[in-house]
Amino acid sequence: MKVQGGHRVGAPEPGASYILPLRRTTADALGDLPQYLGRVAEWAEVLVVDGSEPNVFQAHAAELPAGVVHLVPVHRCLNGKVAGVLTGLERARTELCVIADDDVRYTETAFRRVLALLADADVVRPQNYFSSLPWHARWDTARSLLNRALGTDYPGTLGVRRSVLLRAGGYCGDVLFENLEMIRTVRAAGGRDVWAPSVFVARQPCSARHFWSQRVRQAYDDFAQPFRLAGELALLPLLVFGTRRFHLLPAIAAAVAVGLAEAGRQRNRGTEVFPASSALWAPLWLLERSLAIWSALWLRLAGGVPYAGVRIRQAGHSQRELRRMLRDGLLAPAARPVPQAHSARIRFRRGSVRVP
């Protein structure tokens, strides 16, 4: 029996919850998502928090498989995904939760590895890769490879301990880079952050049209990372003015970009999921970002980036700001009481670590 807005009576207590925030503007079919969620329901409680319009919500209800909890978000914020996640966290029956976008596709092995890491962490970041590679997926894969080489990548899925976020009062839903906001909120609450770059989780590529529509929006995320922002803003002036004095600069820059991307591919068993040709797209991605970041700056000055019918100005809060917000109780309106069974398992630590 499918459940909407509640849980099955007499169902066994799950070991983990899978939370999927969903919002569609048309009642198009969900593709393979219902079949995928049916498999996940064998491993965990599955909650789909659906912010679609009522007619689309009902169409989704008819497609989702038995055992999936189909909910309407009870929170309202500029970033609808956060509203879905907070609703799912409050309704989940388990301490260990996996939050994933609707294009993420876990295997049971990867799912169990994330849960195993949560035994000694409060938030876990696995590594996304594209399950198929049209040209724009290879282009975007170059971004992940450069991130792996120079620091850390941010996936479309996270494992989290429910009690940490509920005790913090949730996390801010009026920012664009919501995954980074969640991670920083967990850290600000004293939680332990683990990056697991060798836990690979597939992601389905979007359409080429959607890919193009996301270029400036993704660049806008970097207003939450000031040092990265400064470096990206410097790219275009360096190329334009540097090439006038040294004509080989573009070729050298392209070679360095490919080399860095390949280093990211080689790191932590990345060659298992990232083909060698992906590194060759790194110069194009850097060129794209060098242009898109200036468009993002213009949007920032104009009041924010358009997102799902609203404008969001804040990309994300700094760690320092979040500690102050938590100290002053500014996230408290999203909080709900934490069941005793959950609060007993909360861990408060500081810092971030990486698991190879």
pLDDT tens for 204-236 read 999 999 999 999 999 999 999 999 999 999 999
Q: What pLDDT is stored for residue 344 in this prediction?
A: 29
- pLDDT tens for each residue of 316-329: 999 999 999 998 87
Please tell me the distance from the alpha carbon of residue 337 to that of residue 300, in angstroms, as a whole number: 37
Contacts of 54 (CB under 8 A, 6+ apart): none
- pLDDT tens for each residue of 290-346: 999 999 999 999 999 999 889 999 999 999 999 999 988 776 544 333 333 333 232
- 64 pLDDT higher than 80: yes
Centre a 10 Å sphere on the Cβ of residue 348 and count the other Cβ atoms it contains. 11
Phi, psi of 155 (to 5 degrees): -85, 175
pLDDT grade for 10, boundaries at 50, 70 and 90? very low
Q: What pLDDT is stored for residue 329 in this prediction?
A: 79
- pLDDT tens for each residue of 345-355: 322 333 444 55
Q: What pLDDT is stored for residue 119 in this prediction?
A: 93
Closest CA relative to residue 211, chosen from 106, 140, 261, 296: 140
Mean of pLDDT values over 169-178: 95
Asked if residues 149 and 179 have their Cβ atoms less than 8 Å apart, the reply is no
Mean of pLDDT values over 89-117: 97
Q: What percent of the chain has pLDDT over 70?
A: 89
Asked if residues 289 and 219 have their Cβ atoms less than 8 Å apart, the reply is yes
Contacts of 195 (CB under 8 A, 6+ apart): 125, 152, 352, 353, 354, 355
> What does the longest C-alpha to C-alpha distance in the chain come to?
74
Closest CA relative to residue 198, chosen from 129, 146, 130: 129
Alpha helix segments (H runs only) across the chain? 33-40, 54-63, 80-91, 108-118, 135-150, 162-168, 178-188, 208-213, 215-220, 226-245, 249-266, 282-302, 319-327, 340-343
Q: Give me the chain's average pLDDT, please.
A: 90
Which pTM value belongs to this model? 0.89
Asked if residues 37 and 70 have their Cβ atoms less than 8 Å apart, the reply is no
How far CA 39 is from CA of 15, 46, 67, 111, 263, in Å, comes to 15, 10, 11, 12, 35
Please tell me the distance from the alpha carbon of residue 81 to that of residue 350, in angstroms, as a whole number: 26
